[in-house]
Amino acid sequence: MQAILEHTSFDVQAIRHQFPVLNRMVKGKPLVYFDNAATAQKPKVVIDALTEYYENYNANIHRGIHSLAEEATAAYESTRDTVQQFINAKYREEIIFTRGVTESVNLVAYTYGRTNLKAGDEIIISGMEHHSNIVPWQLIAAQTGALLKVIPVDDNGELIIEEFHKLLSEKTKIVSLVHASNSLGTINPVKEIIDAAHKVGAVVMIDGAQSTVHLDIDVQELDCDFFAISSHKVYGPTGIGVLYGKKELLEAMPPFMGGGEMIKDVTFEKTTWNELPYKFEAGTPSIADTVAFKAALDFVSSVGKATARKHEDELLHYATSQLESMNDIRMIGKAKHKVSVASFVVEGVHPQDLGILLDNQGVAVRTGHHCTQPLMNRFGIPGTTRASFAMYNTKEEIDVMIAALNKAIKLLK
């Protein structure tokens, strides 16, 4: 297992050496991976953790009494403890393992929302939400008669916070909001929103898919009621995520799915539920991925979020200045506070065509609406080209992207 850097220093080349995929070639060119907002690459320690589980103690968890089952259970539950510390949850049983942010939002919508909402109640989301934080609330609103309200976005890609306060009322029961936009990079003022929502008695769900890897997360300080995380955005495996919820809310919520592990007693007449967190973890989970998620969180903590973010901010500022100096490019999303996401359009060029030509030169970016179609409609565009940066990226790679862009634009215009 490779040594992990201490957070007192930051050596990007040493970081890069810990990510095997960065050594590969794409269409004869060295890979430049700028699609980190979609999924981050995995360090060797995470890959090793997956291999170690399958090679040495592959077994189902919680109910077995043999040695492999006990080792697997201990490793699985150790990840829960690590997540609790990573986001400073008060209790370990407030950490529910899900498949990711999408399942976490659906869990809250279908359990808390369906139980507590009634006709005329209001749910507030924002105009920059991912589809996974729009569609579940639309479905629950249709089932319960609740109304969905939307905080508008200004030309810079920031929430018009005054409009949020106007939307708030005693009818507001749930506010569900992205912490950092996957399309724009905008960091939203979630603490202000949480405090205001609580004053009218609403609960707040925060989508932390993009923020958890970049920002220090303290759910007790934020005082959010729910917070969702996807492992694969934080250098961990796909298929595993977290729902944090305040203990008293989770205890009052009905189960999301029925099956093994989430039960206490079952008869044909009646079933009683297991205690937290297992009430919400039906069936055999993604054990190996959960175990390896701990390795990813430990990796991020050892590098240091503040150190990594400083590097990522430098990359964002450099890329933005380079892009803004180019003819025909318009930046989409100019918020004052951003994570390392640079979205742009090239006048007269479809993002998909641009993405294909960049890929031909070894540069991986994301193109399209990024599962935020209402936001793209607000800007009057079909989509953007999005470059998103991680701790292992370099300014030299940005130079490669800019050169590839110039070449692609000349071919397309």
Q: In one letter, which amino acid is 277? A: P
- Nearest of 282, 225, 241 to residue 83 by alpha carbon: 241
Beta-bridged to residue 148, according to DSSP, are 123
Q: In one letter, which amino acid is 139? A: L
Is residue 359 classed exposed, middle or buried when 0-12, 13-18 and 19+ CB atoms within 10 A define those classes? middle
8 A C-beta contact, residue 238 and residue 209 = no
Beta strands in 2-94 (DSSP E): 25-26, 29-30, 32-33
**Tokens 């500022």 map to which residue?**
317
8 A C-beta contact, residue 217 and residue 88 = yes
Cβ count within 10 A of residue 398: 24
DSSP states along 93-160? GGEEEESSHHHHHHHHIIIIIHHH--TT-EEEEETT--GGGTHHHHHHHHHHT-EEEEE-B-TTS-B-
8 A C-beta contact, residue 303 and residue 4 = yes
As a whole number of angstroms, the distance between CA 395 and CA 311 comes to 10
Segment holding 309, helix H or strand E:
helix 305-324
Which residues are within 8 A (CB) of 213 and not within 5 positions of it... i.e. 6 or more apart?
40, 233, 234, 235, 300, 305, 390
371 is catalytic: yes
First to last CA, the chain: 49
Instruction: Name the active-site residue from 47, 69, 148, 371.
Output: 371
Task: Give the single-character DSSP code of 205.
Answer: E
| Phi and psi, residue 22, nearest 5° | -70, -10
CA angle 3, 8, 12 (to 5 degrees): 60
Catalytic residues, by residue number, are 371
